[in-house]
Structure 1
Amino acid sequence: MVLVEHYQWKVLDLSWNHFVGSVTSDIHALSSLRVVSFAYNYLNGSLPDHGLCELKNLLELDLSGNMLHGTLPDCLKYLSSLKLLDISSNQFSGILMPSLIANLTSLEYIDFSHNIFEGSFSFSSLSNHIKLEVVRFRGDNDKFEVETEEPIGWIPMFQLEILELSNCNMNRYKGRVLPGFLLHQHQLQEVDMSHNHLEGKFPNWLIENNTNLEVLNLRNNSFTGMLLHRNANMLELDMSGNRMIGTIPDDMQKFFPHIQHLNLSRNSLSGAIPSSLGDLRDLRVLDLSNNELSGEVPKGLFTNISELFFLKLSKNKLQGQVLSGNLSLGKIQELHLDSNCFTGKIANEPRKYNNLMILDIRNNFFTGMIPGWISNTSELSELVVRNNSLEGRFPCGPTLFTFLDISQNSFSGPIPSCLNLQYVKHLHLGSNRFTGSIPNSFRNLTYVLTLDISNNDLSGRIPKFLGELSNLRILLMRKNKFHGSIPKHLCQLYNVSLMDLSDNSLSGSIPNCLKNITGPSYLAFLKRTISWYPMSSSYDYNSVLQRWQPAYVNNQGFETQDEVEFTTKRLFLSYKGGILDYMAGLDFSCNKLTGEIPQQLGFLTQLLALNLSHNHLTGPIPVSFSNLAKIESLDLSSNGLTGKVPSQLIKLTSLSTFNVSRNNLSGRLPEMQAQFGTFTEASYEGNPLLCGPPLMKKCTTTNSQLTNPSDEEEDNDKWYDIDMTFFYGSSGSTYAVFLLGFVALLYINPYWRKWWLDMIEDYMFTCYYFLYDSVSS
């Protein structure tokens, strides 16, 4: 505990340490304290009813960045001298009582962000505060609402400079309107009302009334209209995720001449990108993605804006040879041009791409070869050129890729073994024309999470060293020419969740040891921030405690999301991002696998999809498959499986696709209960010995007894597990009945009796002369 003098104030500042435990009630003994900070430690527990509340002289209280929970003590309202109260980033819960803040009329700075409060909080409880400068409420759940319109027409006595009401379900039951009290605010420098689903036209009046406004964040609302008012001080504007239509104003530089961060993504903006954006000389971040923009990209975006380092134009209708000409990217570090209609070649001018770290041009129409500088730059770490018309051999070089996706092009030749893939996490080489075998350099993929080499002309055996890639989560090798058996070394991929070896020429049996694959132990595909571009307005709250706080925290660059394709429920689908942490499937279909299906596959309880179809598998369907509680798609069709369809599979309540057609299965089908009540005849066709609904063939007593034992019998009953006393008794009775019937027939019919006696006589003479001749000789 540190007690120091600071301008005649007594300060206890224990922030940014590793303290644990709770806030002690003994702190009341330090009654002369003016400033207390326990910020960013590991404190937990609830605040005591006595302790802090006795510090009547307290001016600043900062408890942010801990794990404190429970409700706020009502006695805090007696700290009448309090100017700063920051309890953000904790786990405080319950209803935030308006009376608690209403009585603290000396407050200048409030931050209640990132807690789990519930209920409604009326902003009008602050109406009598005359000193308020900063109010921050950032919600983290859907149970907290900020109401600003009750009572109707209330007028604040304060003039805010910072207002953050993000994700607060603002005015949920009042039409989701913009707060009316803002009409009386004229000193605002930062406004963040993102993620509130607010409606109405773009509030140009807010910009007009607050000439000092530097940061305006209205992200993820439902505003319409367009920006129509000039503000020379605006540094950051985020209108992404709204309903803005029309074109981007041609004279944007007149509205916001010094704008640094501009985000208009995820709207319905159309028309061309105005060349005037190239006159925004201070622009650093520009995001116009997910709109309906068309035409060519103005060259001024690349040549005129010397400070631009983040440019995202993804998912529009833009066209032109954007990377082909004499174009310098300046300081641009992240360039996202994906999902447009761009054409042409990538220029081979490395000096113009010196600062590039991320290049994403997927889903376009780029042609030609990849220039050599791609593999020889020191900065580039993520390259995504998926789904273009690029061709030739991929160049070698020392570039340290962490994300490399060149799939769905026409690259040819062997897979380059000279690439520096030491730190690559996601490697996508699928759907090209690569030939040869898997290079030995793949031994070094120690960090790889996704390895996709599917749909090429690769051949040879699957190398054993793939089993040593301990971090591997997704292995896609379908549609190649691999032969030989499935290496048992793949059983060492304990963390793998998707494995697709389909459409090859693999033979032999399915390894029993696949049961060792336990599935992922941690989430690897979550959307992660890799860069953060804070904007600080000129506002600076004067306090003893340091108040460095970026004005805006949504300008983030995210790690490129991984995307793979996998067949499940008979559909070849694309899965992207965080869903890959929950996908689990095994596809060995369309090979030449033999032997029985291992019972051990029933231990892979994490599986959502299992496809063993179109092989030469024999034997029964394992009863252990009833343990696959999460399975949604099970395809065993086109094999040589025998026996019954186990009735225990009825327990698979998540199963939506089931196919055992074209096998040699027999007997009564499981009852049409639960999910099995949804399967049609198509799931069982090509098995002539199956019977029962949904098939038209009914089960008779005979075929039911011979081919389908009762449900009470165990599926592993053997042919010799019968009652021998019953067997001998029934056999003797059958013989006696036959013999008596034959004697009776001879007695009744004299012709048959004479024929029988003559046959016996001839037989006796034949035996006699045979024996006589044998002895005489």
Structure 2
Amino acid sequence: MDSSKSKMVIMFVLLLIKFEGGWSEGCLDHEIFALFRLKYFFNDLHDWVDDEGATDCCQWVRVECNNTTDRVIALDLSDTRNWDLGEWYLNASLFTPFQQLESLDLSWNKIAGCVENEGLERLSKLNNLKMLDLSENLFDNSILSFVGRLSSLRSLKLSYNRLEGSIDVKELDSLRDLEELDIGWNKIDKFVVSKELYLRDTGFKGTFDVREFNSFNNLEALDMSNNEIDNLVVPQELRLSDNHFRIPISLEPLFNHSRLQIFDAYNNEINAEITQSPSLTPNFQLSHLSLSFGYGDGVTFPKFLYHQHDLVNVDLSHIKMNGGFPNWLLENNTRLETLSLVNDSLAGPFRLPIHSHKQLGLLDVSNNNFQGHIPVEIGDILPSLISFNISMNALNGSIPSSFGNINSLQILDLSNNQLIGEIPEHLAVGCVNLEYLTLSNNNLEEGLYLNNNSLSGKIPRWLGNLKGLKHIIMPENHLEGPIPMEFCQLYSLQLLDISDNNISGSLPSCFHLLSIEQVHLSKNMLHGQLKRDLSYNRLNGSIPNWVDGLSQLRHLILGHNNLEGEVPVQLCGLNQLQLLDLSNNNLHGHIPPCFDNTTLHESYSNSSSLKPFETSLFTTKNIAHIYQGKVLSLLSGLDLSCNKLIGHIPPQIGNLTRIQTLNLSHNNLIGSIPSTFSNLKQIESLDLSYNKLNGKIPHQLVELNALAVFSVAYNNLSGEIPECKAQFATFNERSYEGNTFLCGLPLPICRSPATMPEASIGNERDDNLIDIDRVFRIQFDPLNPSNP
């Protein structure tokens, strides 16, 4: 008896250990049960399943467990309830089984409150809960009295709810450990403050008494953007953008705030400096400053900036300041990385500092009144520029060749000035990372001409050195000569516009077509054939829809790549197309029925020819050949094999009377073989194998006297093979294998029509349907396949 009691005690202790988490091989049973209860309310949790072998909830999505105890410590239930169900009320007791829970995300669920007596105060039993996200819901002010009892919280997010009016700060007094409070995008007036306070779009207006912040000594970051407030305390980081502050450009009211490092007052009213004590200097050293978009005129350059030496980012745009370029700002701040002085009414010469400044990456002084020359030494003084914009000024002279010393330069905008001369070749040779070069509306004489210059000459060949260039825009000029072969090096080019010029020749055969998004070549004197052979590469993505803009394109070879998407109908707009190879890609969808709009359906005319050195690799008669010169001009074909194309073969394909080869094999095509294929009088190779075609082989195909290679193997075709005469007498059983219900020479002869089986549509999806009699005869009597 004592032994039995001892065993019961041991079992009871072991059960206690298991349920306390000391002995665990997965989720505790009561936590799994609690998760399934949650699934009823958060009904988009489709991955939570009660299947055998799926009882370890620690492996479920949106669930995180302690690695040692396997207790649930985090639940992410954001956006897991169907919004069509509307607002609802939460039973917070559902979460009490998770005693070790540390993080709970309930955002984006349209929760309007809690069930009576089952509010969030129930979570106070969860002593480890540190993060609670209730943002993007429909809670009102009453929620604060509940969350105020969760003393363990360190992060509380209530943004985008229905909080409004005054909030009693005492309701949150117990949140002693709170480090992050986000109540932005509500309409409230008072709040609790931790180290970070986010008050964006809270509806504050008028005067905000800064004394309300006096007790918040730990405040490090305050964001009050997009309000209409006037005054506030100054922490290290102060962002006041998009308000109605009247900010003196001297910033004198902030001089005593020695902790201030970041001041963002973007889009406020900047006042002209009226009086300032000359002896006063700021106690702060700023790293970031934005005072852009003021409304006043006649503002002088801020004098406090003469005392700043740690600036990294400065934006003083749209303030209408008087004076010249502040080269002293660069001299005093060697860490300066960005400087924006856009639309500031600055005038005079554009003078640079004496010493080289190696940190400045962005300089934008566009839309001012700078005059004179661009300093010839700019590339040596500012060698680290990534973006330089000095457009819409009154600069004259030539473009300094020292720009070529800035090999990091990606964006250069010198447009809308009075520059003359040519683009220095050293700019192209040195600026190897240049992506955007804008020079329009100047008086340039040679080189790269952009729109509205009315200039002449050839396109500089050295432009090919700008391998990162993305846009070349130079329409409506008098450019002449061919497109340089060096353009083949512009691997990043996205837009090429040389329309309305006198360009002759053709697009270089090596041009990297698929990097381009737009090509404008109209109104020139281009002639010859545009050829594209990009096969056997690693090209991916889809065939661009703008491809029909290359109206003179004759050969498009894109086989053996990783192209996806559908075969664009825009290919039918290539009315000069005679050779199209899209084989061995991942294309899907239907075959466009409109290829008969191209020259694939016309008889050959010898009025055009290709240059002897132009070649293309194309597969016909099951052999890949390199075609060149006149032979290439004679070749016409369509190869869409080895893709994922579906649907019926368009009967219009039978109108492509010019083609010598047609390969649609290794796809998922269905339906019958169009009888219109009998019109393909010049066809030499026809491969329809490895599809799901059904019905009979059209007997009219025996009229194709040029046919040398023919395969319909591995489909679901049925009935008698066309009469074994002419070219069809040359095809052996390999042309027809894999079609269970085909018969007739060179396969076994057909039985009487009354007893012959026929393949049905269902056979397209039945790969296991086998004619045992046929297999027996083929396998064991190969020397006499016609013997029934």
Give TM-score scaled by structure 2 length: 0.50
SS of equivalent to 1:317: coil
Q: 1:156-555 alignment to 2 at 5 Å?
A: 156-159=172-175, 161-165=178-182, 169-170=185-186, 176-178=187-189, 180=190, 182=191, 185=192, 188-196=194-202, 199=205, 201-202=207-208, 204-219=210-225, 221-224=226-229, 226-227=230-231, 231=234, 234-245=235-246, 247=248, 250-254=251-255, 256-272=257-273, 279-298=282-301, 300-323=303-326, 328-330=331-333, 331-351=335-355, 353-376=357-380, 377-397=382-402, 398-400=405-407, 401-419=409-427, 420-434=430-444, 435-436=446-447, 437-453=458-474, 460-466=481-487, 468-477=489-498, 482-484=502-504, 487=507, 492-500=512-520, 506-508=524-526
SS of equivalent to 2:331: coil
Maintained 8 Å contact 2:131/2:153: no
SS of equivalent to 1:383: strand
SS of equivalent to 1:372: coil
Alpha-carbon displacement from aligned partner over 1:392-448 (angstroms, at most 9, x marks no partner): 222224212122222222222222221222122222233223314333332233333
**Alignment identity in percent?**
18
CA shift, 1:307, in A, is: 1.1
Q: Which of 80, 87, 100 matches 1:70? A: 80
Alpha-carbon displacement from aligned partner over 1:220-258 (angstroms, at most 9, x marks no partner): x2323x22x555xx1011111223346457523346332
Q: Distance in 1 between matches of 2:275 and 2:325?
A: 16
Equivalent in the alignment of 1:572 = none
Q: Distance in 2 between matches of 1:335 and 1:308?
A: 10
Alpha-carbon displacement from aligned partner over 1:463-485 (angstroms, at most 9, x marks no partner): 24435523222334468x55325
Maintained 8 Å contact 2:108/2:137: no
CA shift, 1:336, in A, is: 0.7
Tell me: CA distance 1:328–1:477, structure 2 relative to 1, closer, same or farther (3 Å).
farther
Alpha-carbon displacement from aligned partner over 1:339-362 (angstroms, at most 9, x marks no partner): 221112222434163421211111
Maintained 8 Å contact 1:46/1:69: no
Maintained 8 Å contact 1:146/1:169: no
Tell me: CA distance 1:290–1:507, structure 2 relative to 1, closer, same or farther (3 Å).
same
Q: Distance in 2 between matches of 1:342 and 1:455?
A: 33
Alpha-carbon displacement from aligned partner over 1:582-636 (angstroms, at most 9, x marks no partner): 9989999xxxxxx9999x9xx98899xxxxxxxxxxxxxxx999x9xxxxxxxxx
Pair 1:28 & 2:55 matched? no
Maintained 8 Å contact 2:301/2:321: no
Q: Distance in 1 between matches of 2:512 and 2:245?
A: 52
Tell me: CA distance 1:56–1:104, structure 2 relative to 1, closer, same or farther (3 Å).
farther
Give TM-score scaled by structure 1 length: 0.51
Structure holding more strand per residue: 1
CA shift, 1:390, in A, is: 2.0
Q: Distance in 1 between matches of 2:128 and 2:165?
A: 22
CA shift, 1:271, in A, is: 2.7
301-310 or 92-101, which deviates more: 92-101
Tell me: CA distance 1:169–1:363, structure 2 relative to 1, closer, same or farther (3 Å).
same
Q: State the number of aligned residues.
A: 484
Maintained 8 Å contact 1:383/1:404: yes
Pair 1:85 & 2:103 matched? yes
Equivalent in the alignment of 2:151 = 131
Maintained 8 Å contact 1:430/1:455: no
Aligned-pair Cα RMSD in Å: 5.4
Maintained 8 Å contact 1:55/1:79: no
SS of equivalent to 1:411: strand
Maintained 8 Å contact 2:121/2:146: yes
Q: Distance in 2 between matches of 1:272 and 1:135?
A: 42
254-263 or 324-333, which deviates more: 324-333
| Equivalent residue letter for 1:438 | I
CA shift, 1:305, in A, is: 1.0
SS of equivalent to 2:363: strand
SS of equivalent to 2:96: helix
Q: Distance in 2 between matches of 1:128 and 1:67?
A: 22
Equivalent in the alignment of 1:744 = none
SS of equivalent to 1:124: helix
CA shift, 1:111, in A, is: 4.1
Larger relative contact order (C-alpha < 8 A, sep ≥ 6)?
Answer: 1
Q: Distance in 2 between matches of 1:605 and 1:242?
A: 52
Tell me: CA distance 1:285–1:45, structure 2 relative to 1, closer, same or farther (3 Å).
farther
Alpha-carbon displacement from aligned partner over 1:447-504 (angstroms, at most 9, x marks no partner): 332334567776544324435523222334468x5532562659743243344567xx
Alpha-carbon displacement from aligned partner over 1:128-174 (angstroms, at most 9, x marks no partner): 426256334386xxxx52535599898333346534426x642xxxx
Tell me: CA distance 1:413–1:459, structure 2 relative to 1, closer, same or farther (3 Å).
farther
Q: Distance in 2 between matches of 1:293 and 1:521?
A: 53
| Equivalent residue letter for 1:321 | G
Maintained 8 Å contact 1:404/1:428: yes
Tell me: CA distance 1:596–1:210, structure 2 relative to 1, closer, same or farther (3 Å).
closer
53-62 or 250-259, which deviates more: 53-62
CA shift, 1:285, in A, is: 0.4
SS of equivalent to 1:335: strand
Equivalent in the alignment of 1:636 = none
Maintained 8 Å contact 2:241/2:264: yes
SS of equivalent to 2:95: helix
SS of equivalent to 1:26: coil
Maintained 8 Å contact 2:415/2:438: yes
| Equivalent residue letter for 1:235 | Q
Q: Distance in 2 between matches of 1:279 and 1:128?
A: 40
SS of equivalent to 1:252: helix
| Equivalent residue letter for 2:196 | E
Q: Distance in 2 between matches of 1:205 and 1:149?
A: 19
Maintained 8 Å contact 1:310/1:335: yes
Query: Structure 2, unaligned stretches of length 5 or more?
Result: 1-20, 32-44, 50-54, 82-89, 448-457, 557-566, 572-592, 598-788
300-309 or 144-153, which deviates more: 144-153
| Equivalent residue letter for 2:80 | G
Equivalent in the alignment of 2:705 = none
Tell me: CA distance 1:459–1:242, structure 2 relative to 1, closer, same or farther (3 Å).
farther
Alpha-carbon displacement from aligned partner over 1:315-366 (angstroms, at most 9, x marks no partner): 2222310246796241211101112211122224341634212111111111
Q: 1:87-106 alignment to 2 at 5 Å?
A: 87=105, 95=111, 101-105=120-124
Q: Distance in 1 between matches of 2:356 and 2:530?
A: 54
